[in-house]
Amino acid sequence: MKQAEKHSGGWLFKEEPEHYSFSDLVRDGQTVWSGVTNSLARQNLRKIRKGDRVLYYHTGKERAIVGEMRVVEGPGPDPESDDPKAVVVTVKAVKPWPHPVSLERIKQEPALASWELVRISRLSVMPVTAEQWAKLEEMGARPS
């Protein structure tokens, strides 16, 4: 990675792969990320800015980080919702990760023990610090 490409962390979004998987996003190129109803997750969505990096996490049976996205637009109101608090961002696929990083592996990593993914299991949008991102990228570069 070139020095200019270094990042200050990013975000993690969760989704059921049966509903919309990372491969669906790759096929579509980009999508509007909507349907977030949890108050804390919505607060997090409102903090996201164009250009932010996002990890794509498959929930359900897989429970693993499988790819990376980038925010191309947002945040903004959800035009499809009657809920005035509903917020959306538009994301595009960047790349699948060479090796998915499972929740089981994440829980075994002491540097990630205090992360919301481990502590608040139902939260669907959460920040990722630069240190966490670096550790996760390192883990995704090698098989489990």
Q: Cα–Cα distance between 90 and 93 in angstroms, integer?
A: 10
Among positive and negative, which fits the CA dihedral 84, 85, 91, 95? negative
Q: Cα–Cα distance between 90 and 26 in angstroms, integer?
A: 14
Residue 2 within any structural domain of the chain: no
Residue 105 within any structural domain of the chain: yes
Q: Cα–Cα distance between 15 and 48 in angstroms, integer?
A: 17
Residue 111 domain boundaries: 7-139
Residue 68 within any structural domain of the chain: yes
Residue 20 within any structural domain of the chain: yes
Give the CATH number for residue 77.
Answer: 3.10.590.10
The confidence score (pLDDT) of residue 142 equals 87
Question: Percentage of the chain with pLDDT > 90?
Answer: 90
The number of distinct structural domains making up the chain is 1
Q: Which string of DSSP letters, residue by residue, matches 26-80?
A: HHHSEEEE-----HHHHHHHHH--TT-EEEEEE-TTT-EEEEEEEEEEEEEE-TT
Residue 131 within any structural domain of the chain: yes
Residue 144 within any structural domain of the chain: no
Residue 1 within any structural domain of the chain: no
- 33: buried, middle or exposed (CB in 10 Å: 19+, 13-18, 0-12)? buried
Residue 119 within any structural domain of the chain: yes
> For residue range 61-116, what is the model confidence (pLDDT) as tens digits?
999 999 999 999 989 999 999 999 999 999 999 999 999 999 999 999 999 999 99
Main-chain phi, psi angles of 44, to 5 degrees: -65, -45
pTM score, whole prediction = 0.92
- Residue matched to tokens 């992360």: 115
The confidence score (pLDDT) of residue 100 equals 97
Q: What is the average pLDDT value for the chain, to the nearest integer?
A: 93
